[in-house]
């Protein structure tokens, strides 16, 4: 029986503002559209996730390599100009959080989960601005609790972050589901803490991996209802 749902932030609830990224690059003479960057994003994240499975590199070290990978997968050469644009974006991210795009289906999906009586907890590898951006985007009222790894001093896939979230939410591992977009960060970390895990895999890059997957956040409520119905028999 699922009673609590943990949710990753980036890649599940929030996404980079690709329009802002595109405009910053254009200001340095690099032309690439927001849609092209967004299409490259899953491939860059997948590559970073595979690296996580092989190394113990921290999320902050990975973070800006990710943007270079996005550019590479979008067919954009890495140059002094791209470095300059990303440096400006990094400053913005540190102050405001660049993950500031909320897809239209996010709030309805959260409301559907709330109507099931579930407690919603955001468990994110973030840079210390998670609460600020949730308040700014008016998402805070749609969840019950937020944990920002930079504030906690530990990040996924370390199970200690999940254990902290369980303690703060007064939840039990056996009745908690974690929804994330990275296998080695989210699924493996959640499992290490004794949680069920559901992978948001919109582009099918993880079809060979041993975990349940969904393509849209709106599918979580149906997945939980089916799981709870089965477990109550």
Of 44, 64, 96, the one marking the end of a domain is: 96
15 — phi, psi (to 5°)? -135, 155
Of 66, 96, 126, the one marking the end of a domain is: 96
Please count the structural domains in the chain: 2
Q: Do 185 and 71 fall within a single domain? A: no
Tens of pLDDT, residue by residue over 18-45, are 999 999 999 999 999 999 999 999 999 9
Q: Do 48 and 116 fall within a single domain? A: no
Please report which confidence band the pLDDT of residue 64 belongs to, taking 50, 70 and 90 as the band edges: confident
Q: Do 139 and 57 fall within a single domain? A: no
CATH of the domain at 123: 3.40.50.1000
SS3 label, residue 10: strand
Please report which confidence band the pLDDT of residue 63 belongs to, taking 50, 70 and 90 as the band edges: low
Tens of pLDDT, residue by residue over 70-128, are 999 999 999 999 999 999 999 999 999 999 999 999 999 999 999 999 999 999 999 99
Please report which confidence band the pLDDT of residue 230 belongs to, taking 50, 70 and 90 as the band edges: confident
Domain, as residue range, for 199: 4-13+101-231
Residue 232 has pLDDT above 80, yes or no: no
Please report which confidence band the pLDDT of residue 61 belongs to, taking 50, 70 and 90 as the band edges: very low
Tens of pLDDT, residue by residue over 140-176, are 999 999 999 999 999 999 999 999 999 999 999 999 9
Q: Do 126 and 109 fall within a single domain? A: yes
Q: Do 48 and 61 fall within a single domain? A: yes
CA of 69: how far to CAs of 95, 130, 175, 201, in Å?
23, 23, 37, 19
pLDDT score recorded for residue 52 = 81
DSSP secondary structure code for residue 76 in this structure: P
Q: Do 113 and 208 fall within a single domain? A: yes
Residue 58 has pLDDT above 50, yes or no: no
């Amino acid at each position: 029986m699922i009673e609590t749902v943990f949710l990753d932030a980036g890649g599940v609830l929030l996404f980079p503002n690709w329009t802002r990224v595109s405009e910053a690059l254009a200001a340095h003479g690099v032309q690439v559209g927001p849609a092209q960057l967004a299409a490259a994003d899953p491939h860059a994240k997948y590559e970073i996730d595979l690296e996580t499975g092989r190394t113990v590199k921290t999320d902050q070290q990975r973070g800006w390599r990710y943007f270079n990978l996005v550019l590479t997968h979008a067919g954009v050469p890495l140059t002094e100009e791209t470095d300059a644009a990303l440096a400006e974006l990094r400053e913005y991210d540190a102050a405001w959080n660049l993950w500031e795009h909320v897809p239209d289906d996010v709030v309805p999906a959260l409301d559907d989960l709330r109507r099931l009586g579930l407690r919603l907890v955001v468990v994110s590898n973030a840079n210390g601005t998670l609460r600020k951006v949730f308040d700014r985007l008016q998402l805070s009222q749609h969840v019950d609790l937020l944990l920002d790894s930079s504030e906690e001093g530990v990040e996924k896939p370390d199970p200690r972050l999940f254990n902290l979230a369980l303690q703060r939410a007064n939840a039990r591992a056996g009745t908690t589901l974690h929804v994330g977009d990275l296998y080695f960060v989210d699924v493996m970390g959640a499992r290490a803490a004794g949680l069920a895990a559901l992978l948001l895999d919109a582009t099918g890059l993880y079809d060979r991996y041993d975990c349940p997957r969904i393509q849209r956040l709106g599918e979580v409520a149906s997945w939980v209802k089916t799981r709870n119905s089965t477990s109550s028999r």
